[in-house]
Chains A and B, each alone.
Chain A
Amino acid sequence: MAGIRALAWLRQGLARNASVIVVLVLWEATTRTGIFNNFLLPPLSDVLVRAGQDIANGEIPRHVLATAYCALVGFGIAALAGIAVGALMSMSAVVRRIVEPLVSVAFPIPKISFMPIFVLWFGLGNLSEVTMIAFTCVVPIVSATYLGTANVDKYFLWSARNLGTRPHRLFWKVVIPAAAPEIISGLQVAFPLALIIAVVTEMLSGADGLGGYMIHAVRFAESPKVFAGLLATLLTGLVFIEGFAALRRRLLSWHAETAPGGRT
């Protein structure tokens, strides 16, 4: 029985990803025939062998951890600061008046252009990388938290007040949970940015991390390594995005959106 189920699962998986498999097979087949320059497009098997070697000798795991560490620290700082500022904006008109124009300017600008300034201030290294990540991620988090907390259903607030809930409990027990779906959406928008910026800053500094791994590979013209880095970066992104989706389902398990047939 288990065998049949596994086979059915495998068949479904293959059918759902048919085009990806075709592309991978074509990649291997065409590069083996030699019609492409194998420097520019090394065969998939060479890339996988290279990735295998660099995983076995600990190089790729080290870079994945370095990227994940900086991305998570920068993102964590941005999350704490962003949720605090966003919530304050919905509670205080003064804070809102000050922060709103800053956010509206900071939203569309290419924040990465500030990187040389952070390098000037903090030197090349983790501190400037983490600052850059936090600066980039904080903007969507502030904006999502503000929109979420400012638009909490007034009936929730009235009922809770009516039942005698004190202001600070009202905030933690009503406002934050009611705004949680929007806040978590903001975090889900921000985290991919953290990875994008982490990879760029590592490419610029050549430091440990997936960006550093790939840029060194380009400089030394080791093309299988460039592709191995791309695969490792893709998988790192996948793990984090799936992890966030799972965390969301867990944190919002009480919310209507996670109910079967609820809004997604």
Chain B
Amino acid sequence: MSKTLQVTVFYLPILAALALWELAARAGLLDPTLFPSLGEVLTAFVRLTEHGHLLQNAGVSLFRQVSGFLLAAVLGILAGVAMAESRVTRQILEPLLRATFPLPKSALIPLFILWLGIGDSAKVAAIFLGCLLPIVITTFNAARGVNRQLVWSAWSLGTPTWAIPWKVVLPAALPEVMSGLRTALALSFTLLVSAEFLIGQRGLGVLIGTLGEDGDYAGMFAAVLAVTAIGFTADRLFLLLNNRVLAWRE
């Protein structure tokens, strides 16, 4: 079986559900004011795309998500490896992480609205801090679990001490680090959409809210599906990156 055929067969139940949705709407089983048909949603999707609403707001949202997530990934990995390799860093950061970890991350959103207002920076900050903690913790646990014999061999082969964390420890911890990043990626979209639902003038969350308030439910469903598609695509792209980055492992 070819790859495309396999994928189609795997997702067949989803296509069937979509077909069922359309059929139920046409048969009059769904209240059209509460549940627009798939056809109406697709028409609304085309209309929103043509007006440029969807793309503009998606651009704003993706900018926030990418900035917050990348910042959290870079600093989180640095901090996690530093904690595993340096006792002082660990003694400073570990109690702070332990104390803040149980916070449901969405509770940060009001704080950043208070501090940074309703624009981009509040959303980027909430995504950054919300994703930072889980990334630091997974990286720290992964780096701490790296087989010390790898470090000793690198050392005895002449790797300078300063290079060990980045040349030996991080690559060895990479599979777990990547899976931590994947979890954080999903969280970043949740925080993004939540913050945009709450407040703001632009972004996909804002668009969904406005369409709903205007009573354009087909448009609202279309925008929700667009967010869903973006989250799903981001995850699949991350998996491709994951396979590439880890291709050197057996």
Q: Which residues of chain A have a CB within 8 Å of any CB of chain B?
A: 16-20, 23, 40, 97-102, 105, 107-117, 119-121, 192, 195-200, 203-204, 210-211, 214-215, 217-218, 223, 226-227, 229-230, 233-234, 236-238, 240-241
Contact = CB atoms under 8 A, between A and B. Distances in A.
A109 B233 CA distance: 9
B186 A19 contact: no
A16 B192 CA distance: 34
B186 A210 contact: no
A19 B107 contact: no
Contacts of A101: 10-14
Given A112-B197, A199-B104, A217-B110, 9 more contacts: A102-B13, A107-B186, A110-B227, A112-B190, A113-B205, A113-B208, A203-B110, A230-B103, A233-B103
Interface string B184-217: 0110011011100110000011001100100001
Contacts of B91: 18-19
A113 B228 contact: yes
A214 B107 contact: yes
Contacts of A214: 107, 110
Residue from B34, B104, B208, B232 having most chain A Cβ neighbours under 10 A: B104
Given A19-B91, A40-B115, A109-B228, A116 B208 contact: yes
A40 B92 CA distance: 25
B231 A109 contact: yes
Interface class of chain A by DSSP: helix
Contact of B224 (A113, A198, A233): A113
Interface string B82-107: 00000000011101100111111111
B206 to A, nearest CB: 11
A92 to B, nearest CB: 14
> Interface size class for chain B?
35 or more
Interface in B198-250: 198, 204-205, 208-209, 212, 217, 220-221, 224, 227-228, 231-232, 234-236
A114 B114 CA distance: 26
A200 to B, nearest CB: 4
A116 B14 contact: no
A200 B95 contact: no
A91 B214 CA distance: 46
B198 A203 contact: yes
B111 interface: yes
Contacts of A105: 11, 14, 232
A105 B14 CA distance: 9
Contacts of B198: 203-204, 215
A20 B95 contact: yes
22 contacts: A19-B93, A40-B114, A97-B13, A99-B13, A102-B17, A108-B231, A109-B227, A112-B197, A113-B204, A115-B197, A117-B221, A119-B212, A120-B217, A192-B104, A196-B106, A196-B190, A204-B197, A227-B111, A230-B110, A233-B104, A234-B99, A234-B103
B16 to A, nearest CB: 9
Nearest to A110: B189
B193 A196 contact: no
A23 B96 CA distance: 9
A120 B186 CA distance: 25
Contacts of A115: 197
Interface in B131-190: 185-186, 189-190
A203 B111 CA distance: 12
Contacts of A233: 103-104, 107
B104 to A, nearest CB: 4
A40 B112 CA distance: 10
A203 B232 contact: no
A199 B103 CA distance: 11
